[in-house]
Structures are given as C-alpha cells and as structure tokens.
Amino acid sequence: MKAKIDRTYEGSFHIVGGDFSRAGEASTELKTILLRMGMDEEIVRRVAIATFEAEMNIMIYATAGILRYTITPEEIRVVAEDMGPGIEDIELAMQEGYSTAPDWVREMGWGAGMGLPNMKKNSDVFRIESVVGEGTTVEMTIRLGDCGEESR
Amino acid sequence: MKLKEIVEILSLKPLVPSAGLEREVSGGYVGDLLSDVMANAGEGNIWITLQTHVNIVAVAVFKNLSAIVTVNGRMPDADTMEKAAEENIPILLTGKSAFETAGKLYQILNAKGIQD
Ligand SMILES: Nc1ncnc2c1ncn2[C@@H]1O[C@H](COP(=O)(O)OP(=O)(O)OP(=O)(O)O)[C@@H](O)[C@H]1O
Ligand SMILES: [Mg+2]
C-alpha cells in the first residue's frame, strides 16, 4: 500500500523529562498520524522506533526538548532537538554498548547504549550534531520512495 | 499459534483482562534492555522480561509484540497495567524464571514448526 501525500505536513511535540510514564506519547501520536495517512506499516514501524529512542534520550539526558516532523511526498523527517548537556564525543556515543545512563535509568532497562544505533539503523539518512553545554540535534529521514531496499 | 493456547500450556496469568488472547504468536524474545528488544525482537513475538515499569508497554506497541510475560512473579507497576489496557497489550505473569519460561515456550513453538 502506498500513501497518497499531496503536500507537506508539519508538526511538533514538546518533550519534557522526569515523568517516564508519559514517555512515548509523541512517538505514539506520530505513529497514529502516519497510519491514518495510509503509510506502509514497515515505514511507520521504523519511524516510531527511531522517534521513541530520540524521545527517550531527551527525557533521560536533556530533560526537555522538541520533536519536529515533516512529511512530504518523498520522505518523513524527524528532528529531535534539545538544550541539554550535549555530547562530548559523538563517535563514541554512536558505538553500540556505550552509555552514560545513571543507575536509576538502567534499573528501568534503558542504558544498553543501543538507542542512537537503533535510530541510525531505522533511518535512511541520519545526522547528529551536538555542542557541549548547548544541546543536541538528531535528524532522521525515512524515504517513502518505491525503490524499497535500494533506497536504504 | 494462538496466544491463548500458550497461556494455557504455560499457566500464565493474564493481568490485563481487556487485552484479548486471540492473537497470533510468531516467536519469542527474552531481554531486560529495552533498546535491545527494540532492535531485535520480531513482530508478533512474545517478550519475556523482568522489567515491570510503564515503558515496556510502549516497546511492545512500537514493535507490534503479541504479549509481555513478566517472570519471577514480578508484578507490573499500576501505571504499566493502566497503559497496557489503554494500548491493548496483554501482560502475562509467571512465577517461573525467564530461563524456564523461554525454554518451555521454545519447545511449544518448535513442536508447532514456528521456531526451529
Ligand atoms: N540528547 C542527548 N543529550 C546528551 N547526551 C546524549 C543524548 N543522547 C545520547 N547521549 C549520550 O550518548 C550515549 C549513548 O546514547 P544511546 O541512546 O545510544 O544509548 P543509551 O541511551 O545510553 O542507552 P539505550 O538507548 O540503549 O537505552 C548516552 O548514554 C549519552 O551519554
Ligand atoms: Mg538512548
């Protein structure tokens, strides 16, 4: 099934840390929007997982941020921006298994050091920028093209 | 294989009455690290874990898992159950360990030709 998208759709969610019971709300809402548009389920799954990981990182490390999405006929783009502590060594942070998650977060099952790799794996284009003391921006693009595997 | 049959054979205790057990199970995954489950669990899998806090429901939703089994008699938090009811995710409790539960489940699915 291919969704018919005739224009650009945009929206955003504010992510506030602390209340973990609300984690995933933004991703759930985005998922609902995409399904309602008739998007392919596999595409929706990839977007939801990548977005959820980004949402979690904001909640855990930055306490507050904003998640913006743009849906065009060609692609879905999600930008997660926070004004948290930033990441000193991005290459290290991108490595599977690297985590600085505090104990209370680990007790809840986060902190495998797999969130950023998961975001990358589920995106066709993945970008991360971070400035220590200023914040982190993660940009994930998932293509909607017919080319399937070719586009990944 | 239907979740209902597995619940019966393993004597799992369904904790979310509104979440029906008539769903198809495609396999299983064991893990307590949420991002690992997000990376490696398959659609329709039963997820065996000792995590009980509310974020497990979101993981199950985004991965389209068929159910969550909490092991060692670990009762999920109240807000976890609430969320699971909202999202229609079955949570099944067992007093057995993850090892025993996974072993049994593997046997059952293997016998049905779902897992080899
Ligand atoms: N938004 C952010 N702000 C500051 N630091 C971050 C941010 N996102 C990630 N990091 C840093 O990068 C590390 C790796 O992140 P990643 O999401 O891959 O793993 P994790 O969050 O530690 O564990 P998991 O995602 O598997 O639960 C984090 O432990 C943290 O040190
Ligand atoms: Mg993470």
Give the CATH number for residue A67: 3.30.565.10
Structure tokens at A48: 């939801």
Q: Name the closest-CA residue to atom 10, ligand 1.
A: A87
Task: List helix spans (H) across chain A.
Answer: 25-36, 41-57, 90-93, 103-106, 115-122
Cβ-in-10-Å burial (0-12, 13-18, 19+) of B13 comes to middle
Task: Report the amino acid identity of residue B109.
Answer: L
Give A61 Cα–ligand 1 centroid separation in angstroms: 7
Q: What confidence score (pLDDT) does residue A151 get?
A: 40
Would you give per-residue pLDDT tens digits along chain B (116 residues)? 999 999 999 999 999 999 999 999 999 999 999 999 999 999 999 999 999 999 999 999 999 999 999 999 999 999 999 999 999 999 999 999 999 999 999 999 999 998 87
A93 lies in some domain: yes
A1 lies in some domain: no
Q: What confidence score (pLDDT) does residue A18 get?
A: 77
Count, in order, helices (H) and strands (E) of chain B: 5, 5
Name the pTM for this structure: 0.94
Largest CA distance in chain B: 37
For chain B, the C-alpha Rg in angstroms (whole number) is 12
Closest to B33 (Cβ–Cβ): which among A27, A45, A109?
A109
Give A113 Cα–ligand 1 centroid separation in angstroms: 6
Residue A80: enclosing H or E segment and its boundaries? strand A75-82
Nearest to A108 by CA among A19, A14, A45: A19
Would you give per-residue pLDDT tens digits along chain A (152 residues)? 567 788 999 999 999 987 888 899 999 999 999 999 999 999 999 999 999 999 999 999 998 999 999 999 999 999 999 999 999 999 999 999 999 999 999 999 999 999 999 999 999 999 999 999 999 999 999 999 754 444 44
A2 lies in some domain: no
Q: What confidence score (pLDDT) does residue A150 get?
A: 42
Structure tokens at A28: 């759930």
Whole-number Å distance between alpha carbons of B18 and B31:
25
Domains and CATH numbers, chain B: 3-111 (3.40.1390.20)
* Cβ density class A47-81: b for 16+ within 10 Å, e for less: bbbbbbbbbbbbbbbbeebbbebebeeebbbbbbb
A140 lies in some domain: yes
Pocket probe mutation, ligand 1, options A99, A106, A127, max atoms within 8 Å of Cβ: A99
A63 Cβ under 8 Å from any chain B Cβ: no
Q: Is A58 in the pocket of ligand 1 (CB under 6 A)?
A: yes
Whole-number Å distance between alpha carbons of B2 and B8:
10
Evaluate whether A60 touches A23 at the Cβ level (below 8 Å).
no
Q: Is A101 in the pocket of ligand 1 (CB under 6 A)?
A: yes
Residues of B in contact with A21 (CB under 8 A): 54, 79, 83
Q: Is A82 in the pocket of ligand 1 (CB under 6 A)?
A: yes
When divided into structural domains, chain A yields a total of: 1
Domain of A117, in residue numbers = 9-151
A120 Cβ under 8 Å from any chain B Cβ: no
Q: What confidence score (pLDDT) does residue A146 get?
A: 59
A4 lies in some domain: no
ipTM: 0.92
